[in-house]
Amino acid sequence: MEAVMTGTAPGQWEPRIVAFLCNWCSYAGADLAGVSRLAYPPSLRIVRVPCSGRVSAEMILDALKAGADGVLVSGCHPGDCHYLQGNLVARRRLSLLKRLLEFVGVEPGRVRLAWISASEGEQFAALAREVTEGVRALGPARRLAKTLPEVRHA
Amino acid sequence: MPDLAGQIRAAARELLAAGEVAAVLGFAPGPLPMTTRPFAARTPAEADRLTWNGFCVMNPANLLPEILAAVEPPRGPKDPPPEGPLPKVAVVATGCWSRNIVVQIQEGRVRRERLVILGIPSRGMIDRRKVLRRVGGREIRRVEEGAHELRVEGPGLHETIPRWEVVRDNCRTCVHPTPVVYDRLLAEPVERTGVDRYAQVAEIEAMTPEDRWAWFRREIAPCLRCYACRNVCPLCYCPTCFVDDSRPQWVGKSLDPADTALFHLLRAYHCAGRCTDCGACESACPMGIRLRLLTKKLEKDVLELFGTEAGLDPGAPLPLAAFRPDDPDEFLTAGPGGGAGPEGPPPREEEPA
């Protein structure tokens, strides 16, 4: 996860959002946004996952621990899941996790779930803009980020 | 107050003597006042060591799979299971423990036909810390439990404490004190209604995110990461716990507040929809962290969002392994116009069933 989080210029803060996109819909939707040359903020670090149901609470919290300012999980619309029901299970899991995180004081809006299909390039760009602006308004995430001195390069 | 310890001993003697069960899982007195330890009696004579009091705070469901495996005839890893039924184990169970047994049945950990459940409608277990606070931390040598009071004795200490005042928080707000599954019920069923079981959670929910974060940091700050809460929990049986994973290392080994926070969040989250609020984690915690507040919050949300409670129906699917097409989704990120983009969602030909 640390590898995903690198690559921000020092000095000015830009939101860094880890986006878990499902291979079958949302990743293709992001791809379509790209090939359609739609402009959207470069704040998303995309992690391709086989299904939104693959995204575990561990992965989301790991992203926040690594310093992500926001986490977006996106999968197929209900009923369109390649694995028939992965996104519906993800919806249950995410709704609980989001409430638990908000319960311990993580700001609402840091962790998001959205449905994007493979044909929704426009919608993906709009989602990226909306999520980025939402996270920008919240400011840098400090609450679950681990801030020990870097030891990997020592 | 019925002599429950005597009844448990009598039932255990009878079951063991008749050869109906290979072991009876219950409690034996601990080495110090206000402690008990889990104990499996295997002979009628050993049944006399079984006890019952308000300090039986561990959840025996945690040990059931292990004891069931231990009473099976020894066999190699590739040998076929023996002919005929496997030996049974009897276990004492209050309301929450019986629901944990149901969860174990749902998860395929134990089989109902191998259990003889001695149901005990619970009067609530006692929080040692509350007793110690009541006597100002003075040494306690002996505690005698009456129907509604505790007589505490120590050097220069003779006090009578109303029992209900030192009952654990989870027991005070329990609405399922009577076991949901049992073979024998050793006392009269208890009904408890009109309890606001989510009052503690609602109090925290009413705070601002900043205050909630401050509360959470304060609550988990003393955590030693001894994992007693995990080890005592009947739900935590993964062969490799997420805290022991090293690649990826979800939770660091350090006492960095972020690592501790992640441990507590994930520990609670893994119990979502399965936790029966037995309070064993909180009773086991050496630092007095109120671990239940997180699991209770999840219990509240599972009930609110999915309408289910853990361990009430052995045939029901686990809430996080199931879904309904109309599950609440107002938390979804919807773009302007209610859809995923400025124009709203594209027209869809049919709503998925």
pLDDT of residue A53: 95
| Distance in angstroms (rounded) separating the CA atoms of residues A18 and B103 | 35
pLDDT of residue B351: 44
pLDDT of residue A130: 95
Q: Is the pLDDT of residue B1 over 60?
A: no
Start-to-end C-alpha separation, chain A: 19
- The residue of A21, A38, A96 whose CB has the most chain B CBs within 10 angstroms, and thus the best one to mutate to test that interface, is A96
Residues 6+ apart with CB under 8 A from A142: none
Most distant CA atoms of chain A, gap in Å: 49
Residues 6+ apart with CB under 8 A from B41: B12, B16, B23, B24, B26, B47, B49, B50
Q: What ipTM does this complex have?
A: 0.90
CB-closest option in B248, B256, B298 to A96 = B298
Closest CA to A19 of A111, A105, A86, A97: A111
Distances (CA, A) of B287 to A61, B168, B220, B221, B228: 25, 16, 9, 10, 10
What average pLDDT does this structure show over B293-317?
93
Asked if A127's CB is within 8 angstroms of B210's CB, the reply is no
pTM of the shown model: 0.90
Per-domain boundaries in chain B: 128-166, 198-320
- A62 interaction partners in chain B (CB closer than 8 Å): 248, 250
pLDDT of residue A150: 59
Average pLDDT over chain A reads 90
Nearest C-alpha in B relative to A131: B333
Asked if A131's CB is within 8 angstroms of B333's CB, the reply is yes
* A1-43 pLDDT per residue, tens: 666 665 555 568 899 999 999 999 999 999 999 999 999 999 9
Cβ–Cβ contact B177 with A under 8 A: no
| Distance in angstroms (rounded) separating the CA atoms of residues B152 and B33 | 10
Asked if B248's CB is within 8 angstroms of A105's CB, the reply is no
- B333 interaction partners in chain A (CB closer than 8 Å): 72, 112-114, 127, 130-131
